[in-house]
Structure 1
């Protein structure tokens, strides 16, 4: 799936992503400020998370429950120094839990990513629109 969108169409974009039935472990790639966290918040809403969502920059992971009693984990590994820190916090247990795992800055933990995952790459275009690409691995 590949689309170009404006931020005001984020709800529709999140619906389209869910309709693609991505793997439950999704890596979010893109420059800082491109909208990864904003998209994750909208995906959580589309999945039925009613609680307020925020970036787990300092806690590394936030956990949410959907109205269908599914669990969504949102990871932000930007501040990690090495993969051992992720292992120490039990990241591999989360990734293989069969719950939704939305991972920002996954390039910090390349050896911990499950074989079957999806990748969303977001790029900011010169006109302010975003180019999004979703692939399944």
Structure 2
């Protein structure tokens, strides 16, 4: 699936992403400031998360409950130095928990990511819109 959207259209983009056949582990690839966290917030909103979502840059993971009572984990792995550090924190247990895991900077832990995952790649276009590819 490919999609181009403006920030004003991000809620609709999140709906379309959720309508896609996604795995429980979703990897977000994009450069700094392209909108990974903003898109994840929109996805969480579409899932009925009532709590304020924020980037887990310092905590590495935030846990949210959806309106259906399901658990959603949002990871920001940017600050990890080594995969061993992630493993020591038990990140792999989250990844294999059966709960939805939305992961920013997954390239920091390539050997811990489940093989069965969805990848979302986001690029910012010159006009400020975002183009994403879901695989």
TM-score (normalised: structure 2): 0.98
Residue ranges of structure 1 left out of the alignment (5+ in a row): none
SS at 2:53 equivalent: coil
TM-score (norm 1): 0.97
Q: CA RMSD in A?
A: 0.6
- Could you say which residue in structure 1 is the equivalent of 2:18? 18
Q: Residues of 2 paired with 1:13 and 1:116: CA distance? A: 23
Match for residue 99 of structure 2?
99
Whether 1:79 aligns to 2:57 is no
What is the DSSP-based 3-state SS (H/G/I as helix, E as strand, rest coil) of the residue aligned with 1:74? strand
Task: Give the CA deviation at 1:67.
Answer: 1.2
Which digits, 9 at most, give the CA deviation of each residue in 1:41-83, with x for residues without a partner? Answer: 0101111111000000000000000110100000001010000
Alignment of 1:123 with 2:123, yes or no, is yes
1:24 Cα deviation after fit: 1.1
Match of 1:55 in 2: 55
CA distance in structure 1 between the aligned counterparts of 2:124 and 2:27, rounded to whole angstroms: 17
In structure 2, C-alpha distance between the alignment counterparts of 1:88 and 1:20, rounded to whole Å: 33
Within 2, Cα distance between the matches of 1:88 and 1:64?
Answer: 22
Gaps of 5+ in 2: none
Q: Which runs of 4+ in 1 moved over 2 A?
A: none
Q: SS at the partner of 2:52? A: coil
